[in-house]
Amino acid sequence: MQVSVESNGSLERRVIFSLPTSDVDAQVGSRLREIAHTVRIKGFRPGKVPAKVVEQRYGDQVRAEIVDGLVREGLDKAVRENELKVAGFPKVTVDESAAEGELKYVASVELVPEFGELDMEKLEVVRNTAEVTEADIDRMLENLRSQRATWVKVEREAKPGDLVNLEISSIVDGVRTPAEGMEKNATVLGSAGIYPEVEAAIVGMQPGEEKTLDVTLPVDWHMPQFAGKTVTSTFRLVDAAEQALPEVNAAFIRSFGIKSGEVDQFRGEIRSNLERELKGALMLRLRAAVGDQLVATYKDVELPPRLVEAEAGNLHASAADDARRRGQQLTATPEAFEEAARKRVLVGLLVGEVARRNNLQLERERLEEMLRLIASTYEQPEQVFAMYRNDQRMMQNLRNRVMEEQVIDWIAERAQHTEKALSFQEALER
C-alpha cells in the first residue's frame, strides 16, 4: 500500500491510500476459503459449500472489512509517521481517479490546533464550596413526606395549599364552553395551575359556592381561542381537601428501603444522597468556571470546522428531542448552536491537550468511585456494574467523563482561584 499526506489548509490533511486490487483480491480469497471450512448453509454439508456460493453470500462483506482494515492500518501509520494530532473522526471517500487495477481512497483528517503556551496559572477561577447541613436534610425529609401525602376533605372555606375540585364554564365572544353543563377541573391553590385572578377568587369560597368573574387573558395565553380576550368564567367549588403529611415512623422509613426503620440511619442515607448530588453540582460549576476561562483565553484559536459542525448538529438534535418530550417543536436550525458548539469543541480540545502535554493518566480509583456512585442510585447496584463492564461504549463514555473531570480539577488547582461558599440550595441552582 502506498500512502501519501497532503496539506489542505492549516488544520486539515488529506491522507491518500493506493493499493493494487490484486492484493485485496488475494486477501478476500484467503478469508473466503477460511469461511468455507466452517460455514453452515442449508443444503450443503459443512466444509463442502461451493466457493461460488460462499463468495455470493459473504464476498461483499469480507471485501468491505478487508479494505476498511487496510485503510485504517494505513491511516494509523500515516498519523504516527507524520506526528499528526487528529481531532475527531476522519472522513474517508473513494478516489475516482484510481488507475486500472488500483484502489484509491482519501481520508480527510482534521487536526488539533496549535495552542501555543498552555499556562494554567494565568487563569482566574472561582471555586464554589458547599456542605450538606441538618436543615438541608430536614428540607428533603419534608419533601419526601409531601410525596407520600394524602388529601383529606374539609368542610371549611378554601385556603392556599388546598386541593380543590371545580366545575367551570366560560363565555367568550358570546360562545359558551362547554355548550352544556360544566367542565371539571382540579388544582392546588397556589400552584399556578389556573389563571391567578380565578385562583385568588376561589380562596375563601365554601364548598358548593359559585362565582362569576371577567378575566382578560394575555395575548400569549396557552389556549389560542381565548388569547387576548375577555372571558366570563363561572366556577363552582365542589369540594376542598387539605394535605395530610405522614408521620416519620418506622413504617414510613421502611417504605424507602431502610429495613431497620431507624430515623438516624434514614437521615444518614438522605445525607449520603444529598452529598452525592452536591458533589456533581459543584463539579458542574467548576467545569463551567474553568471552561469560561479557557474560552476567554483561547477564543481566537482556529478550530476544525467539521468538528464544530458535528457538535452543533449534536446540540441541535438534543434540543429537538427535549422539545418533543415537552410536546413542542424546535424551530431553530443547527447554525443557531454554532457558537455553543465552538465553545464546547474548544474546551474539549484544550482539556485533551493539557492531558497530553502533562502526561495525565486516568486514575483508576477515580473511575471506580464514579462507577460506585452511579450504581448506588439504583436498587440493584451489582446489575449496574455488570451493565457497564459488559458494554464497552458505556464504559468508554464513563472513562471520558472521569478523565475530563480529572483534568478540570488539575487545571483548577494550578489556576489562580478564589473560593466562594454557597448554601446547598444555591449550589444546585443551574
286-323: per-residue pLDDT in tens?
999 999 999 999 999 999 999 999 999 999 999 999 98
* CATH 3.10.50.40 domain residues, the chain: 150-244
pLDDT, tens digit (0-9, with 9 covering 90-100), for 201-226: 999 999 999 999 998 888 877 777 77
pLDDT of residue 367: 92
* CATH 3.30.70.1050 domain residues, the chain: 2-110
Integer angstrom CA distances of residue 237 from 18, 213, 241, 279, 417: 82, 14, 11, 46, 58
Task: Tell me the mean pLDDT in the region 362-387.
Answer: 87
State which fold the 150-244 domain adopts: Chitinase A; domain 3 (3.10.50)
Place of cell 428531542: 321
Q: Give the phi and the psi of residue 199 in degrees, each rounded to 5.
A: -60, -45
Residue 204's region, left for phi above 0, alpha for psi from -120 to 50, else beta, is left
Q: What is the percentage of the chain residues whose pLDDT exceeds 90?
A: 55
Architecture of domain 120-137+253-428: Orthogonal Bundle (1.10)
* CATH 1.10.3120 domain residues, the chain: 120-137+253-428
Q: What is the percentage of the chain residues whose pLDDT exceeds 70?
A: 100
Q: 2-110 belongs to which homologous superfamily?
A: Trigger factor ribosome-binding domain (3.30.70.1050)
Task: Tell me the mean pLDDT in the region 51-68.
Answer: 88
Q: The pTM is what?
A: 0.74
pLDDT of residue 42: 81
